[in-house]
Structure 1
Amino acid sequence: MFKRILLPTDGSELSLKAIRLGVELAKSCGASVIALHVVPPVQTIAYIAEIMASVQFDYAKEATRFADRYLQDAHAIAEQAAVPFDRLLLFGSQPYEAILQTAKDRDCDLIVMAAHSWEGLARLLMGSETHKVILKSQVPVLICH
């Protein structure tokens, strides 16, 4: 049924739940999985650009460290299930675009991801990467919440 499943993760417990679901599905149909984490850039304000230059370096270093841990968690889940695994770490301002492009570039035929239940102002400010993926994806998206 599916051959390659994309598993975007933000490192949350809900993302781990989606990864477990995606790996189970991959195992049942003999598919491989690709875990993806997208690191958004640190937001800058023009009048503090000099200060932000050093902050951006530290941010990228720390974000990469966290991302490696998130992807290692996904690898451990796939390894325990004996499911072929690949990982990808990207930097980008629009995570949903990176998810969709990865699905296209890696010939994924399913995306399994978490949907957070943000409400009110948080939802308005943060938006929903999952919602954007659902609206624009050319492949099926399985949502875990």
Structure 2
Amino acid sequence: MVSRILIPHDGTEMSDRALEKATEFAKAMKAEMIIVHIIDSRFMPPSATLGFISDRTSLEGTKTELIRILRSGAELMLREKVAKIKASGINIDFILDVGSPAEEIVKIARNSACDLIVMGSRQLSKVGTDALGSVARKVSETADSPVMIVR
């Protein structure tokens, strides 16, 4: 029985498709939903690298401001999606965090006792074969709960 579904959402159409599919399952199984957005900290320069930059204070301030802006936009997006789903009678909440997306998704699924992860994936082409996007691949390989990938 599925009682809690985790839906990672990065703001893309593929994530919207996964959210629609998860909503169908939640209605049918009377399950709760958690939608999660992880701001990818990997594109931020590591602190050790900042030591080689003369204007370190300015760069740290810019990094903090960029995360604040991304967090604000993501929270607005999540609140809109949550409101729409709540209106259909489903219990849903959201989590917004900063880190490595795949690692944080798996950690949140474990800590929230999620029975199912439903996520979208870009289809990457590798010399004539199809491959999952790196986040979906890593989540599907490391999560304790089943992972449904929606394309």
- With the shorter chain as reference, the TM-score category is 0.7 to 0.9
Judge which range, 50-59 or 82-91, deviates more.
Answer: 50-59
Structure 1 length-normalised TM: 0.87
> Structure 2 matches for 1:1-145, cutoff 5 A?
1-41=1-41, 42-44=43-45, 45-46=49-50, 47-48=52-53, 49-92=56-99, 94-119=100-125, 128-145=134-151
Provide the secondary structure at the position in 2 that maps to 1:82.
Answer: coil
Higher deviation after alignment, 61-70 or 2-11: 61-70
What letter matches 1:110 in structure 2? L
Note the C-alpha offset of 1:43.
1.7
Gaps of 5+ in 1: 121-126
- How much does 1:77 deviate? 3.5
- Pick the structure with greater CA Rg: 2
Equivalent-residue separation in structure 2 for 1:135 and 1:77 (angstroms): 31
More helix by share: 1
Q: TM-score, normalised by structure 2?
A: 0.84
Give the letter for the 2:119 counterpart. M
Matches of 1:118 and 1:69 in 2, distance apart? 29
Q: Percent identity?
A: 29
